[in-house]
Amino acid sequence: GYMVAKWLGGDELTKASAVWWVRLFGTGLPCAIFLFFFYGFLGRVTSSPMARDLSFLALSLGSVFLGYSYLFASHSTSAVAAGGAFIILAHFHRQKRDGFRAETKRERTGAWLLAALAGFLTAGCTALEYPCLLFSVAFSVYALVAIRPLPRILAFGLGALVPTLLVAHFQ
């Protein structure tokens, strides 16, 4: 966010404008993107539009999700990572249950990249907040069940390696 602000705004940034840009790119946009995908996920897992809409509103407006994202608390961003990982793994599980097989090269590449993203988000929720390790372990076990064919687990592992190495470097 700071780099974009520097690129758009020139050399001088006030503290208030720098904080605004970092808040926008560091927490605001990731949370908004997650809410977009979460709404679609709710539409797939429930047949009731009212249940979908009430669940979405409860999370987005009736919880501390938005407030924490504005306070730079990593609670919201780790929730985004955990929720995103779960949505992707549920997608793979649903495809496995329905007997879907990626036939074309484009479908196989997309599934490989999606598995890598699931791994990145699974490890990312712990990278953002260490107590989320329990989620990362649970999602890793779920990935072993949900992601098929099994060699695609390698993509999950490679995606998980990125946040893991960043935390290792930080430590």
**Alpha-carbon torsion 103, 105, 109, 112, what sign?**
positive
pTM: 0.85
The residue among 74, 84, 164 whose CA lies nearest residue 128 is: 74
Per-residue pLDDT of the chain (171 residues; tens, 9 = 90+): 677 777 776 667 777 877 788 788 888 888 889 999 999 999 999 999 999 999 999 888 877 777 777 776 678 889 899 999 999 999 999 998 888 887 888 988 999 999 999 999 999 999 999 999 999 999 999 999 999 888 889 999 999 999 999 999 998
